[in-house]
Amino acid sequence: MPPTPAASTPGTGGGPSSGPGQRICTVAKTGEQVPCFVDLWGWWNDQDSCYWKQLDPQPPDSVTWEGHYPNGAIWAVICLPIVPGSSAGGWAWRASPPPGYGGTSVTPAQLAQQAVDQMTLTGPEIHLSIPADKFATVGVPVWLWTDVTPTTWGPNSATAAVPGLSVTATAQARQIVWDTGDGLSETCRNPGTAYYAGGMTSPTCQHVYQRSSAEQPGLAYPIRATTTWDVTWTGGGASGSLTVTRVSTGQVRVGEVQVLVTTS
pLDDT 10s digits, 140-191: 999 999 999 999 999 999 999 875 678 999 999 999 999 999 999 999 999 9
Out of 54, 72, 105, a domain closes at: 105
Asked if residue 17 has pLDDT above 80, the reply is: no
Dump the DSSP string for 92-120. Answer: EEESSPPTTTT--BPPHHHHHHHHHHHHT
Q: 142: which DSSP letter? A: E
Out of 105, 124, 153, a domain closes at: 105
Higher pLDDT, 104 or 40: 40
End-to-end alpha-carbon separation of the chain, Å?
94
On whether residue 260 sits in a domain, the answer given is no
Are residues 98 and 115 part of one domain?
no
Higher pLDDT, 10 or 186: 186
Are residues 95 and 47 part of one domain?
yes
Are residues 99 and 19 part of one domain?
yes
Are residues 155 and 91 part of one domain?
no
Distances (CA, A) of 76 to 16, 49, 97, 129: 20, 14, 12, 61
Higher pLDDT, 14 or 59: 59
Say if strands 25-26 and 33-34 run parallel, antiparallel, or are unpaired: antiparallel
Which spans in the chain are helix H? Answer: 108-119
On whether residue 163 sits in a domain, the answer given is yes
Higher pLDDT, 175 or 133: 175
Out of 105, 128, 160, a domain closes at: 105
The reported pTM is: 0.62
Are residues 129 and 229 part of one domain?
yes
On whether residue 174 sits in a domain, the answer given is yes
Q: How confident is the model at residue 2 (pLDDT cuts 50, 70, 90)?
A: very low
Number of domains making up the chain: 2
Are residues 16 and 63 part of one domain?
yes
Are residues 116 and 89 part of one domain?
no
Are residues 247 and 121 part of one domain?
yes
Are residues 46 and 115 part of one domain?
no
On whether residue 162 sits in a domain, the answer given is yes
Among 216, 218, 223, 219, residue whose Cα is nearest residue 142: 223
Q: Across all residues in the chain, what is the average pLDDT?
A: 85
On whether residue 121 sits in a domain, the answer given is yes
- The predicted pLDDT at position 138 comes to 96
Among 58, 54, 43, 57, residue whose Cα is nearest residue 12: 43
Q: How confident is the model at residue 58 (pLDDT cuts 50, 70, 90)?
A: very high
Asked if residue 233 has pLDDT above 90, the reply is: yes
The residue segments making up the domain with residue 7 are: 1-105
- The predicted pLDDT at position 13 comes to 36
Q: How confident is the model at residue 258 (pLDDT cuts 50, 70, 90)?
A: low
Asked if residue 19 has pLDDT above 90, the reply is: no
Are residues 18 and 1 part of one domain?
yes
Are residues 248 and 147 part of one domain?
yes
- The predicted pLDDT at position 15 comes to 38
Q: Which residues contact 114 (CB under 8 A, 6 or more apart)?
A: 160, 167
Are residues 31 and 59 part of one domain?
yes
- The predicted pLDDT at position 14 comes to 35
pLDDT 10s digits, 70-109: 899 999 999 988 766 556 779 999 988 887 787 766 778 8
Asked if residue 11 has pLDDT above 90, the reply is: no
Q: Could you tell me the strand order of the sheet in which 142-146 lies?
A: 126-128, 142-146, 206-207
Among 176, 125, 120, residue whose Cα is nearest residue 151: 120
| Span 184-211, average pLDDT | 97
Asked if residue 21 has pLDDT above 60, the reply is: no
Instruction: Report the distance separating Cα 105 and Cα 100, nearest Å.
Output: 9
Cis status, amide bond into 70, omega within 30 of 0: yes
